Amino acid sequence: MSQKFMSKIVAGGALFLLTGLAGVSAAQAQTVEQKAAVCQACHVTGTLQSSSVIPNIWGQNEGYTYIQLRDFKSGARNAPEDAAMRGLVAAMSDADMLEIAKFASTQPWPKGVPVSTDAALLKKGAYAAALGGCVGCHFNDWKGFSANPRIGNQSTAYLAATIRQFRSGSRTNSPGMSDLVRSFDEGDIDAVAAYLNAPR
C-alpha cells in the first residue's frame, strides 16, 4: 500500500472525525429551550383545557418530570398511550432529561379552565381525596414537591384518566398510587378530578 494512498485514508479519516465532532458540538450547543420546543407541540403553554388528556408539564415539579422521562425511556411506563413519549425520549441522555425537567419547572403554570362549579360534586371530590390520603404526597395546596407532582389545577380529563390507569394497573410506575385509588369508584374518580381542577 503506497504512502500516498495511506495519506489519503488518514486525511479522509481525520475529516470524518472532525465532521463527527462538529456534529456533536452542534448538538451540545443546542439550548434547553430548543430541546424543550418539541414538547410544546403537545404540552401547550397557553390556557389548559380541562378536556385535555395531555397533562400540563410547565411549572411541574422538577423531580417528578425527570422521573417520568426516565420511566418512559426505561419502559417502567409502558401503557399503550405512552408509546409517543417512549419514542420521544428514546434518544435523550440522562443529562437531557434532567435539563428539560429543570427548564419545565421554571415555567409559569398555565391558566386552567375548570370543568365544574357543581358544589355537591366538588364536595364529594374533596371528601374522597381526604379519605384516599392524597394530601400525604400532594401537599402544599396540591402542589406537591420534588418527586411528588403538582395535581392542583391540572387538566380534569388527564387526572381522571391517570387515576383510572393506576386503578386498573395499566400504569405501574407508582405502586403506592395504585393501592390508594383502588377504593375509588367511577363517581369518586370524576369528583376528585373535578375538585383538583377547581380554582384555588
pLDDT of residue 199: 80
Query: Domain 33-197 sits in which CATH superfamily?
Result: Cytochrome c-like domain (1.10.760.10)
Identify the three-state secondary structure at position 65: helix
Identify the three-state secondary structure at position 112: strand
- Residues 86, 75: contact at Cβ < 8 Å? yes
Using N-to-C axis directions, what is the helix angle for 62-74 and 94-105, rounded to 10°?
Answer: 150
Separation CA 137–CA 156 (nearest Å): 19
Residue with cell 404540552: 43
pLDDT averaged per 10 residues, the chain (length 200):
40 38 52 95 91 96 98 95 95 97 97 88 97 94 96 96 96 94 96 91
Q: Locate 58 and state its grid cell.
A: 410547565
What ranges do the domains of the chain cover?
3-30, 33-197
Separation CA 137–CA 174 (nearest Å): 12
Separation CA 94–CA 71 (nearest Å): 11
- Residues 121, 196: contact at Cβ < 8 Å? no
pLDDT of residue 28: 59
- Residues 159, 168: contact at Cβ < 8 Å? no
Separation CA 114–CA 200 (nearest Å): 10
pLDDT of residue 112: 85
